[in-house]
Structure 1
Amino acid sequence: MPIQVLKPKFHVDECLEEIRECLEKGWTGLGFKTVEFEEQWKKYTGHKNAYYLNSNTVGLYMAVQILKMQNGWNDGDEIISTPITFISTNHAIKKQNMVARFADVDEYLCLDPVDVEKKINNKTRAVIFVGYGGRVGQLDKIIEICRKHNLKLILDAAHMSGTRVNGICPGTWDGIDVTVYSYQAVKNLPTADSGMICFAEDKYDKIARELGWLGINKDTYARTGDKGTYKWKYDVEYVGQKDHGNSIMAAIALVQLKYLDEDNAYRRELARCYDKLFANNPKIRVVDAPYKDECSYHIYEIQVDDRDGLMDALAANDIYAGVHYRDNTEYEMYAYDHGTCPNAHCVSQKIITMPLHLWLTKADVEEIAHLVNKFTK
């Protein structure tokens, strides 16, 4: 059997039972299960607010839109972000006619606080921090910088479901204005696709719920009485989009959430196996993680000189690695900052994502590591 880089594992029978309830009640859209999952996510993480969406991407778009709208930011203002991320992180900035100003990454492939502070100017309004691979990086220092310069802070926690620091969910730390999670198909808490936006302030959560339902100030579920009576009157306060999640995806998420800590613990076991097997190979640089015992380890990455050659060698043995991510300043629309983040550019040429998922055995990891070590000798 081929070994994939990422492969979700679902608790199928339990998921089907949750979905069955939606179908039998005739409620598959917004409400019912989405509300239940929001409450369970708040309980699990400690977030004060949680609004279930159809993806992490729309959550990031919404986060920038609301902060811009509510804080009087202008077109052309800047948000500092990372070049090592999925493109939706930086599209969220561009979508609002703002400028992504790129700062370099540190040894954890998260934003380097020193370079972030260098990139701040009189147009800087916020920072987007990506918890790459589930790592918290130097998020505490980024929070300090944002406080010092009166900047808003958005945490792109697409990889961070289940990550903790001393038992606390980083997204709930003081100084973070909004955290956005992903439950996309291959994430640690997989659904077909969905996400969650968690604002620290109640007023932003209220706006998010209206924007995510076309600007309507009362969603369908809120307008349905206890006896099923449908109250049709509402007002429209914004030009919004249809960004909310649905009860089918939330049903899956409710099941997957029950196993998230157990699943992440197994990911950490596999990561420790990789660490041990690569420890004595000087030609491999493992991307480290602070608080390794509480990291979600969405992905496990190494850096090698001949990345493409290694990927071909693994593929010849039915092992399929991946690359997360290409330096975003190599894309034409963000090329204005090309060359400003030398570490990120170097990493982008060398990084490779090893298979890491719940279907892998430790024997699989040993086989993969053996081939990697053999190739890099």
Structure 2
Amino acid sequence: MIPIAKPYLIEDDALAAYHTILSGWITQGPRVQEFEEKFAEYTGAKYAVAVSNCTTALHLSMIVAGIGPGDEVICPSMSYIATANSIKYVGANPVFAEVNEFYNLDPADVEKRINHKTKAILLVHQIGMPADIDAFTDLCSKYNLKLIEDAACAAGSVYKDKRIGSHSELVCFSFHPRKIISTGDGGMITTNREDYYSRLKLLRQHGMSVNDRIRHSSDKVIFEDHIEIGYNYRMTDIQASVGIKQLEKLDWIVDQRRIIAMAYHEGLKDIQSITLPHEEEGYFSNYQSYSIYLKEDFPIYRNELMQKLLEKGIATRRGIMNAHRETAYKLLTRKVKLPRSEDLQDRSILLPLYVPMSPQEIDFIIGTLKGLIESNVIHY
């Protein structure tokens, strides 16, 4: 079976965790600080704050951005449900907007939904393809809104010669196994604001005024205070030690993923009934996922095609979910109409993409897909 994805973890990642475990410091500590500093340097941001996952990163970003009960935050429905959930966590309401053909928010549709309750735009870089940050920065400036980036899938992606993570005040990353680099689970927030940085560090550790590392290394007795209600959103040093090693390989991993994506481009470019991913000038994707869109004249039902590919030993996934179609949001979004988002979900398939994939595996996927189309086994 060729899986849809798998993390690229090798011996040096395992050894990093091993040595950290033997060091005796396994919770948030020196390795977390090192990972934060190196991640900030990599992205070009001034600061980085490690947390337990990207969902908690989004939650804390909502808090420091001042989003609260009754506020509205515009975001795509076409994203993993954690995007919308993070808005609900602070008592605010997600306002779902339409996406463009690249699976990212449509600036024109977003502007139509801005009103006096709107406090922020939550911009997602879907499947690693950068969104139009400049357009949303302009919108936020025009209407005095906060911009938060959900960059769960975008580590290593580049927008207009700057890595994702350095453009906005709050950018949130994921290190889940489906992402480009992984710490098992984990997240990171990058920011250029010192006040956000200081408060994020408080919030992730119960609002504690002095962290464990400083307290344990002090030659004087220190009693911590808990300055505000916080959370247990810490990353462990075990995870961070793996993250440090993963970060060293990030650019190489992105290069390898792009080689696979280009092979798909070349192998599938002549199939007229599908649309392939496309990078506009100034956009550089890490190809966290490779999504193909099946046009109306595609000869096979999407779900049946997925089943046929599975029977051939190729795992796929449906198009990116729409949160407003999930049970948790249906009662809240009965009047929401997002035809493009729904169509992209219903007519898209994610193909396997991970490092390392052999040329034989890539050729097998391309050949099998072409064969199923040419055999026209299932008709509308």
| TM, length-normalised to structure 1 | 0.93
Query: Are 1:290 and 2:280 counterparts?
Result: yes
**Distance 1:118-1:105 versus aligned 2 partners, 3 A rule:** same
Which digits, 9 at most, give the CA deviation of each residue in 1:120-144, with x for residues without a partner? Answer: 1111000001101111132221111
Query: Are 1:346 and 2:343 counterparts?
Result: yes
- Deviation of 1:239 (Å): 1.2
> What is aligned with 2:32?
34
> What is aligned with 2:236?
246
- Deviation of 1:24 (Å): 2.9
> What is aligned with 1:236?
226
In the aligned structure 1, how far is the partner of 2:22 from the partner of 2:321? 45
In the aligned structure 1, how far is the partner of 2:315 from the partner of 2:93? 35
- Deviation of 1:323 (Å): 2.5
> What is aligned with 2:306?
311
In the aligned structure 2, how far is the partner of 1:245 from the partner of 1:324? 31
In the aligned structure 1, how far is the partner of 2:228 from the partner of 2:68? 18
> What is aligned with 2:357?
360
Q: How many residues align?
A: 367
In the aligned structure 2, how far is the partner of 1:263 from the partner of 1:74? 38
Query: Are 1:115 and 2:109 counterparts?
Result: yes
> What is aligned with 2:121?
127
In the aligned structure 2, how far is the partner of 1:242 from the partner of 1:145? 34
Of the structure 1 ranges 137-146 and 127-136, higher mean CA displacement relative to structure 2 is found in 137-146
- Deviation of 1:54 (Å): 1.1
Query: Are 1:277 and 2:267 counterparts?
Result: yes
Query: What is the SS of the residue equivalent to 1:43?
Result: helix
In the aligned structure 2, how far is the partner of 1:324 from the partner of 1:34? 34
Unmatched runs of 5 consecutive residues or more in structure 1: none
In the aligned structure 2, how far is the partner of 1:242 from the partner of 1:65? 15
- Deviation of 1:171 (Å): 2.3
In the aligned structure 1, how far is the partner of 2:15 from the partner of 2:328? 45
Query: What is the SS of the residue equivalent to 1:160?
Result: coil
Unmatched runs of 5 consecutive residues or more in structure 2: 375-380
Q: % of aligned pairs identical? A: 26
Contact 2:317 2:351 in 1 (8 A): yes
> What is aligned with 1:24?
22
In the aligned structure 1, how far is the partner of 2:89 from the partner of 2:198? 21
> What is aligned with 1:203?
195
In the aligned structure 2, how far is the partner of 1:172 from the partner of 1:100? 25
* Residue in structure 2 matching 1:58, options 53, 56, 59: 56
CA RMSD of aligned residues (A): 1.7
Query: What is the SS of the residue equivalent to 1:80?
Result: strand
- Deviation of 1:107 (Å): 1.2
Q: What code does the residue aligned with 1:43 have?
A: E
- Deviation of 1:231 (Å): 4.1
Contact 1:212 1:242 in 2 (8 A): yes
> What is aligned with 2:146?
152
Query: What is the SS of the residue equivalent to 1:224?
Result: helix
In the aligned structure 1, how far is the partner of 2:264 from the partner of 2:221? 57
Contact 2:159 2:282 in 1 (8 A): no
In the aligned structure 2, how far is the partner of 1:17 from the partner of 1:333? 41
State how 1:171-210 maps to structure 2 within 5 Å: 171-173=165-167, 176-210=168-202
Of the structure 1 ranges 148-157 and 364-373, higher mean CA displacement relative to structure 2 is found in 364-373
Query: What is the SS of the residue equivalent to 1:346?
Result: helix
| TM, length-normalised to structure 2 | 0.92
Of the structure 1 ranges 187-196 and 298-307, higher mean CA displacement relative to structure 2 is found in 298-307
Contact 1:51 1:205 in 2 (8 A): yes
In the aligned structure 2, how far is the partner of 1:239 from the partner of 1:312? 48
In the aligned structure 2, how far is the partner of 1:99 from the partner of 1:287? 31
Q: What code does the residue aligned with 1:76 have?
A: G
